[in-house]
Amino acid sequence: MKSSFLAYIFCLCIFLSPESVFSQSKSSFRVIPLGVKGGIDESNLSSYALAVEGTEEYVCLDAGTLNFGIQKAIAAGIWKGDATEILKSKIKGYLISHGHLDHLSGLVTNSPDDSPKPIYAMAPCIDVLKEKYFSWKSWANFANEGEKPALGKYQYKVLEQATEIPLEQTTMNVKAFALSHSNPYQSTAFLIRHKEDYILYLGDTGADEIEKANNLRMLWQEVSPLIKSKKLKGIFIEVSFSNEQPDKSLFGHLTPRLLMNEMNVLNELTGEGALKGFPILITHMKPAGDREAVIKKQLNELNKLGLNLIFPQQAKLIKL
């Protein structure tokens, strides 16, 4: 009787709080992928709602899909209530990596029902939003600058290279780094900080060797000390194509081989073993036939460093 009671209590503990039972390190961030793909499926395009664990103050890292991702998160029991109300109340701002539609179409189409909030991006991306999307020819100008009348719901916040600013209405901060996405077209990496904890999110990017650039090397130099000190909790990075994609048709994207080359550069900076078990979250696979399965297989085969490869799924909560 007594032992079965103890077994019952033990099971209850596991059920209620698996992390506190089995893991010493508490998670620092929670991520709800609202969309994960790099094309075709308009209900599932790059957007990651990120908050500090224990808070409901999210920012969206890119905004390809918003409403459908929130609906799925409600269906999955992550959020409760109405999708539009959640968008209005829980999403405190958008960080947009670059001006391609698969990273911002959700922001544009949801804008009539959204609440006032900032849009954080580097200058070239703000220019695209201003000139191409929040203009009266393609939509309505819901932002605070650009074609008149400017409705002023969104406030553009221009991010400068390697300069940290606070993310309003959250306890997070962001530092931006330019990426090369089919040189000279620019994309952005966001280094998010809460106290001593960090997350790195990269928008679309090519490899340094293909782009004839050193943007990624500079980024790896910036974050390698944070990996060594275990302050960086994970890196979101794209792999759009499989290894079969010819170099001339990469259009500023990565393949498993090119990602692992970059990880080797990072590994040289962090020192042997530091990347073992480190979370690398693979984003932006471009659907076509069985390409997504091929990418996963190739990444796993090339994973000599022992990275913890994570493949985010829409509305599947990630704790880092």
Contacting positions for Zn ion (CB under 5 A): 38, 100, 102, 204
Which residues does residue 29 pair with via DSSP β-bridges, in sequence order? Answer: 52
C-beta of 33 vs 38, nearer to Zn ion: 38
C-beta of 102 vs 262, nearer to Zn ion: 102
C-beta of 103 vs 233, nearer to Zn ion: 103
Q: How far is the CB of 64 from Zn ion (least distance, A)?
A: 8
Q: How far is the CB of 40 from Zn ion (least distance, A)?
A: 11
Q: How far is the CB of 309 from Zn ion (least distance, A)?
A: 20
Q: What angle do CA 125, 126, 131 make, to 5 degrees?
A: 100
Q: How far is the CB of 274 from Zn ion (least distance, A)?
A: 29
C-beta of 139 vs 185, nearer to Zn ion: 185
C-beta of 193 vs 203, nearer to Zn ion: 203
Q: How far is the CB of 230 from Zn ion (least distance, A)?
A: 30
C-beta of 197 vs 204, nearer to Zn ion: 204
Q: How far is the CB of 206 from Zn ion (least distance, A)?
A: 10
